[in-house]
Structure 1
Amino acid sequence: MSFSGQLFDNAAPEGSAERFSEGAVLFHGRLNEYAEAIIEAIRDIDREAPFRHLVTPGGHRMSVSMTSCGDLGWMTDRKGYRYTETDPDSDRPWPPMPELFSELAGEAAEEAGFPGYRPDACLINRYRPGAKLSLHQDKDEQDYSHPVVSFSLGLPATFLWGGFRRKDKPDRLLLEHGDVLVWGGPDRLRYHGILPLPEGEHPLMGAQRINLTFRKAG
């Protein structure tokens, strides 16, 4: 694939799957029937481990607010990027990952060609209008043979799908409410990110986007 900054035309019907790279598949509207249950579970997680704006090792306050669930949670601060078994804000274990989350992530991974996927970490990102995520690689995990599975809920967002160098110009992929994106294998370490979230109002989620990113981290 050449990285020309193109916007993929993913106007596909709900329930369809689109393999846009060797190890990457987008499932359109896969979560729609589960959205309300997922949102309620996120509310429970937020009560136990509230969303917070983390600080990068360089001192930058992230525009995205985050929390985690599962055996491990992802953290960043002045000490670096890492996974932890406990929430540093409370010193308690992260909330357990709901079975619905792991089942849906495992099913999508298997359909994408990665059978037996059982994530142990779920990063939950909340985007308000203007929030973004710069190009980065997911490389804090111990074993890159496992894919990354990403759920999208709420306002649509433009996903940046880059190459293996930060300077590679990324292509763009529209992620809409209910979409599931899986990438792994030869695409596992591609740079990726999210452009600033536009203003908008989703009928179920309001003026926000929630992204759940599943990893096998330990």
Structure 2
Amino acid sequence: MDAELFRRSRTEIAPGAVHVPDWLDADQQRRLLEACRDWARPPAGLRTVRTPGGGTMTSRQVCLGWHWYPYGYAHTVVDGDGAPVKPFPEWLGELGGRAVRDTLGEPEAVYDIALINFYDADARMGMHRDSDEKSDAPVVSLSLGDTCVFRFGNTESRTRPYTDVELRSGDLFVFGGASRPAYHGVPRVHAGTAPSALGLTGRLNITLRVSGFEGG
């Protein structure tokens, strides 16, 4: 939105879960989008994720550093073209470390995984935990493009209580500590809300994690 009555402000959604609006400026968003477009190209590019029950996720995904598939990690795209996963760039890890420092004030962890999800207008993400890593370092989430409703829940179940947060292009959301195992999802994307200057139709979510794996 170009004009609002009240400026959006940093909010602690739950202990260890912080939303920072407009954390990435317009130039940073454009640079990150161009990087995502490069990463999305094959080999080991953007793919549709198939669940063990035979269904498919409505968002599409590309991974860096380690390849995620339900429910584990591999060095190659085992559920796709079989190519080696693309490397995780040092600059992206530095961005993740700065995000944690800016929100939680914690020492910077060594980020080595990125899961990049692309949502079109009809895509959703069900309530889930990020629990396939061996590290409990905070999860860093960056948004580009269309605004979404991000549902941040509790640590016990996929049901209430939860808080719906509007995430716009450039927003940062970090969750760690007591909130690290919280369920979360994306029940809605508001099509056509991306900044026109960005040149993106749809939504990209860049999620950074620390694997805790040996021999990476």
Q: TM-score w.r.t. structure 1 length?
A: 0.85
| Percentage of pairs with the same residue | 34
Equivalent runs, 1:9-158 vs 2, <5 Å: 12-13=7-8, 17-32=10-25, 33-48=27-42, 49-70=44-65, 72-76=66-70, 81-88=71-78, 89-111=80-102, 112-144=104-136, 146-158=137-149
**SS state of the match for residue 197, structure 1?**
strand
Which of the residues 170, 174, 182 maps onto 1:190?
Answer: 182
The partner residue of 1:211 within 183, 199, 205 is 205
Amino acid at match of 1:63: T
Q: Contact between 1:110 and 1:117, CA under 8 Å: does it hold in 2?
A: no
**How far does the alpha carbon of each residue in 1:107-130 deviate from its partner, in whole angstroms, 9 at most, with x for none?**
011222331212111000000001
Distance in 1 between residues matched to 2:127 and 2:11, nearest whole Å: 22
- Larger mean Cα displacement after TM superposition, 169-178 or 193-202: 193-202
* Corresponding residue for residue 166 of structure 1: 158
Q: Which runs of 5+ in 1 are unaligned?
A: 1-10
SS at 2:188's partner residue? Answer: coil
- TM-fit CA distance, 1:103: 1.4
Write the distance in 2 (CA, Å) between the matches of 1:183 and 1:68: 20
How far off its partner does 1:39 sit? 1.0
Displacement of 1:104 in angstroms is 1.2
Q: Does the 8 Å contact 2:147/2:191 carry over to 1? A: no
Task: Return the TM-score normalized by structure 2.
Answer: 0.86
Give structure 2 stretches of 5+ with no counterpart: 1-5
Q: Displacement, 1:154?
A: 0.2
